[in-house]
Amino acid sequence: MSMTITEKILAQHAGLDEVVPGQLITAKLDLVLANDITAPVAIKEFAKFGTEKVFDRHKIALVPDHFAPNKDIASAEQCKFMRDFAREQQIEHYFEVGRMGIEHCLLPEQGLTLPGDLIIGADSHTCTYGAVGAFATGVGSTDLAAGLATGEAWFRVPESMKFIFHGTKFQKWVGGKDLILYLIGKLGVDGARYRAMEFAGEGIAALSMDNRFTICNMAIEAGAKNGIIPPDDKTFAYLEGRARRSYPLLYSDLDAGYMAIQEFDVSEIPLQVAFPHSPENAKSAQEASGIKIDQVVIGSCTNGRLEDLRMAANILRGKKVHPEIRLLVFPGTQTILRDAMREGIIDTLIEAGAAVSTPTCGPCLGGHMGILAKGERAVSTTNRNFVGRMGSVESEVYLAGPAVAAASAIKGQIAHPEEVS
Amino acid sequence: MGIAFKFGHDIDTDVIIPARYLNASTPEHLAAHCMEDAGTSFAQKVKAGDIMVGGKNFGCGSSREHAPISIKACGIKVVIAESFARIFYRNSLNIGLPIMECPEAASEISEGDEVTVDISTGTIENKTTNKQYQARSFPPFMQELIRAGGLIPYIEGRKKNA
C-alpha cells in the first residue's frame, strides 16, 4: 500500500506493515526530550508509575534552556529538580549550562535526531527535527512521563498535506522564515491542525539545512502535528560526522495519499513580517516598513543558527544599531556561537552595537533577557507574537527573518534590507 | 450547573497561563494566574463547577501542560470549544480535564449563561436560553482514557490486566 514518509515512520515504529490516517497506534520512541519548564511536571508524573528507572537512559535528552541560566530562585529550583533527576537516572544526554544550547538547535547538531526517527518532546517546537526527515512532535508533560517510563506513545496517524515549492529563484534575502510565514499566512494558525505538513519541490531542495530547520520549526504555528522534509544529499552531508547510528531511508510513495496538495513559486514570495498578535498575520516586509520599534531579537530555535547570524552580520557590517534600539542576539548553541566568533560574525554584531548572549530561550517566551515594557514593540526572529508573549500584554511583537530584523535594528523602524544597503 | 466564561478563537496557551508564571508548577499557583492576559479577571471570578467556552483552535501554541492544569485547578468543570489545538487536546485527556467539541454550543453560549453538562453522554444544556446540544463523541480509545481518569492510570490499569 502507498504511504507518505510520515505514515511509513509511524508504521515502522508501531511494528505494522501499513497505517492509514485516523488509525490509533502505539509506537516505540527513539528520543524523548524535555526542558527546565516541562521536565519538572513530567518527572512528578513519572514518579506515579510503578517503575524506578527510565526506559532507556541513552534515549532521553534533558536541556535546561528556557529559564536557564537560572533567571530567579524559582527557576533555579526547577533546573535543579531536572538536574537531580538526570544524575539519579544517569541520563546520557543531559546538557549543562556552558554545554547546552537551545534544544531544537542543539539536538540535531549533536546528531541525536536522525532520518526515520520517531521523537516526542515536551516542547511544541519539537517538530523542528522533521528537517532531517524524522517524525517529531510536541507533547505535554504527562505524555512525556509515559514516554520516559515506557519508551512508547500513542498517536493518531495524521492526514498529510503536501506543500510543493517550485523554482529556485528566491528574491534577495528571502529564506526559510519567509517561506513558512508566507505559508502560515495562507493557511491560518489552524490550517494544518492535527496534520502532517510535508515540504517538497526544487525550492526546498535548494535550501540549506539551517533554513529547513526554520521551516519545520514553525509547522506547529499552522497547528500541525509534524513538519517533514524527505532527506537528500544536503541532509546526508549535515549528518556526516554527527550521526552515530545507522538510519533508514524512507520516502513518500509517488502515489501516496494527501488530503491536500498546494503549490507555490518561490520567486513570488517576498520578505515577510507577521503582525501582532498572530503568526498568520503575515504580510510583505514593504507593508510593515516604517513601523517604529524599540527592540530587535535575533536568535531562538527558529532563527538562531549560523546562517541566520551570518545574514544579520552581512547587513550590519560597517553600520550601527539605531541609538534608540536594543539589538539582542541569541545564538542557538555554544558551537554556533564559537563558529560565529571564528568567522568574525560576533565581532561585527558587537561592533554594530548588539548585545550577544549565551544560548537561552530567554525573551522568545517572555522569560528573561529582553522583556518588553507596556507600549513597546519588537521585531523578532522567534516564532510567536501572541498577546504578552515577550512581556507586557500591551507590548507588540512583529515576526520576521534575520534580514528584516537586522535592517530594522539599523533603521529604528521596520525596514526592508534595501532601505539600509 | 455552572456559569459560562466565554473566550474567542485561537486562545493560545500563553494567554491561558503566561510564561512568566512557569517558574513553578503547583496547581494553586497556576490557577491564580489562569487567563490573566485575557484581561477579564477570570481567575478572581471563577467558581468550582463553572464552564469555560472557547472558539476554534482552543489551546494553540506552546505544549505547556500547565495550561490545562491551571484551568482544572480553577474549578472549571468542562471546556466547550468549536475545536481544540492538538497538544492541548491530548494534555486535557491525559490529566483528566473534561473537554467537549461542540461548534453550535460554543458559538451560541454567551458569557454568564447558566449551563449544565453531562460529560458521560456529551449533552450540554443552556438553562438561560433553554437550548440543548450534543457534543461530538470521542473515539473508543479516548473514551477509555477518560474513564480511567487520564493517561497514567490508563497505562497502569493496562499493565495490571496484561
What's the whole-number mean pLDDT along residues A139-165?
98
Q: What is the pLDDT of residues B92-118, one digit of tens each?
A: 999 999 999 999 999 999 999 999 999
Q: What is the pLDDT of residues A329-364, one digit of tens each?
A: 999 999 999 999 999 999 999 999 999 999 999 999
pLDDT value for B146: 87
Q: What is the pLDDT of residues A386-405, one digit of tens each?
A: 999 999 999 999 999 999 99
DSSP B84: B
CA distances, B145 to each of B83, B90, B139, B148 (Å): 19, 10, 10, 5
Q: What is the pLDDT of residues A195-248, one digit of tens each?
A: 999 999 999 999 999 999 999 999 999 999 999 999 999 999 999 999 999 999
Task: Give me chain A's average pLDDT, please.
Answer: 98
Burial class (CB in 10 A: 0-12, 13-18, 19+), A53: exposed
DSSP A161: E
Whole-structure pTM value: 0.98
CB contact under 8 A, B83 and A193: yes
Chain B closest-CA separation from residue A285 CA (Å): 24
Residues of chain A above pLDDT 90, percent? 99
Q: What is the pLDDT of residues A365-385, one digit of tens each?
A: 999 999 999 999 999 999 999
Chain B closest-CA separation from residue A390 CA (Å): 9
B85-89, B148-152, B155-159: which range is least confident on average? Answer: B155-159
Chain A closest-CA separation from residue B120 CA (Å): 22
pLDDT value for A76: 98
CB contact under 8 A, B23 and A38: no
Beta-ladder partners of B54: B81
pLDDT value for A406: 98
CB contact under 8 A, A67 and B156: no
CB contact under 8 A, A138 and B159: no
For chains A and B, CB pairs below 8 A equal: 129
Q: Is the pLDDT of residue A38 over 80?
A: yes
Cell digits of residue B89: 487536546
CB contact under 8 A, A143 and B91: yes
Q: Is the pLDDT of residue A316 over 80?
A: yes
Q: What is the pLDDT of residues A247-291, one digit of tens each?
A: 999 999 999 999 999 999 999 999 999 999 999 999 999 999 999
Q: Is the pLDDT of residue B69 over 90?
A: yes
What's the whole-number mean pLDDT along residues A57-76?
98
Residues of chain A above pLDDT 70, percent? 100
What's the whole-number mean pLDDT along residues B66-84?
98
Phi, psi of B157 (to 5 degrees): -65, -40
State which amino acid sits at residue A324. E
Q: How does strand B131-134 pair with strand B123-126? A: antiparallel
What's the whole-number mean pLDDT along residues B12-37?
97
Q: Is the pLDDT of residue B6 over 80?
A: yes
Which residues of chain B are within 8 Å of residue A71 when distances are taken between CB atoms? 23
Interior/surface letters B89-123, b for 16+ CB within 10 angstroms, e for the rest: bbbbbbbbbbbbbbbebbeebeeebebebeeeebb
Q: Is the pLDDT of residue B162 over 80?
A: no
Q: Is the pLDDT of residue B83 over 80?
A: yes
pLDDT value for B158: 86
